[in-house]
Each structure stands twice: as C-alpha cells, then as structure tokens.
Amino acid sequence: MQTKLGHSVEITHQLSSQAAQELARWIGCYTVIYNQKTMEADRGYKEWLEAGKPESGKPLLTLRLPN
C-alpha cells in the first residue's frame, strides 16, 4: 500500500458486494457536493475580480441552506 495525500487503507477484500456499492454511492454523492461548492467558489471569485477588487483578496463563500 502506498499513500499519497493522506492515510489510505485497502479494505476492498473486507467488503461485501452490497457494502462496496453503498460506499461507492456515498463517495459519489460527496464528490457531487464538493464539485458544486468548487464551482460556486469559482463563480464568486470571478465576480470578485469583475467588480475590480484586488486579485489577492479572497471573497467569502456564503453558505446557502435549503429552505
């Protein structure tokens, strides 16, 4: 086992097929949420720059909670 960015443990042989599928679904959902937050942050930064604010500045990402 070789780790790159963190701690990794190989557990594939310990999972049933159903458990592996559920884990894959959970990871997939996390990835979608992460990608959405990244796109929102990119939009916020682009708007920040278009408003003439300094490139070194960092706009705050507002958290929008569902109603």
Domain boundaries, the chain: 18-49
- Tens of pLDDT, residue by residue over 11-32, are 878 888 888 888 888 888 777 7
Dihedral angle sign, alpha carbons of residues 13, 17, 22, 27? positive
**Model-level pTM?**
0.49
pLDDT at residue 67 greater than cutoff 70: no
The per-residue pLDDT of the chain, averaged, comes to: 75
Question: Which one-letter amino acid corresponds to residue 23?
Answer: L
Distance CA 28, CA 39 (A): 17
